[in-house]
Amino acid sequence: MASEWLELHPIDPQRRWLQRAADRVRQGAVIAYPTDSCYAFGCRLGDKDAAERIRGLREFDRQHQFTLVCRDLSEIATYAKVDNWQYRLLKQLTPGPYTFVLEATKELPRRVMHEKRKTIGIRIPEHKVTQALLELLGEPILSCTLQWPDAEQPVDDLDDDRARLERSVDLVLDAGTCGVTPTTVIDLTGEAPVLIRQGRGDVSALGLEES
């Protein structure tokens, strides 16, 4: 059965389609949706089966870090341990194309943490579709970049991969091009921030160099 395909305005997305997407996520759907860096796969945090489907689509092992896409800083604090200095940095850089690696709290299911480090990637995207979807959903989205295991870069033009997407996910939120540059990843688990990957997010103000 082919996936449901919804075309949304990237700046002023249709609320009825977003409500439809939120309902489908609650029912266990795996979705493809836009962010401020790339398109992403996503599902409900508490849905083990949907998360395993995404792991299979990306051919992830147990060491791969999922990302938890949140509405705001208060939601982050539920699932990750945030000290004062970490909070100040998060406040400075969110919303935006950044992923922050933080120590997970007990509220986060162990199956989505990094198996050895017990960490989770957290982000707050600055994309109208994502923000509105999260608001309607009322909880985070478990996510990873929409990139096929045999591809060199993420999917940008969804129509180019339409047949494959329709076989792989339950719902596609098509809001036009997002680009192929992933998020900047910053590890905040130590005493100071460490740049893991330089992506779309600018870190020049922080004076960080990629490790």
Model pLDDT for residues 164-204, shown as the tens digit of each residue: 999 999 999 999 999 999 999 999 999 999 999 999 999 98
Return the pLDDT at 63. 67
Residues 111 and 21: beta-carbon distance below 8 Å = no
The CATH number corresponding to 4-206 among 3.40.640.10, 3.10.310.10, 3.40.190.10, 3.90.870.10 equals: 3.90.870.10
For the residues 70-77, what does the mean pLDDT come to?
A: 93
Backbone angles phi, psi at 110, to 5 degrees: -60, -30
CA nearest neighbour of 45 among 21, 79, 96: 79
Mean pLDDT of 33-59: 95
- Tens of pLDDT, residue by residue over 22-43, are 999 999 999 999 999 999 999 9
Residue 78: name the closest of 50, 114, 120 by CA: 120
**Tokens 């929409």 -> residue:** 146
Q: How far is CA 52 from CA 16, 45, 56, 58, 201, in A?
A: 28, 11, 6, 10, 29
Indicate the domain borders of the chain: 4-206
Separation between Cα atoms, residue 93 and residue 88, nearest integer Å: 9
CB 30 within 8 A of CB 53: yes
Q: What are 100-159's pLDDT values in tens digits?
A: 999 999 999 888 888 788 999 999 999 999 999 999 999 999 999 999 999 999 999 999
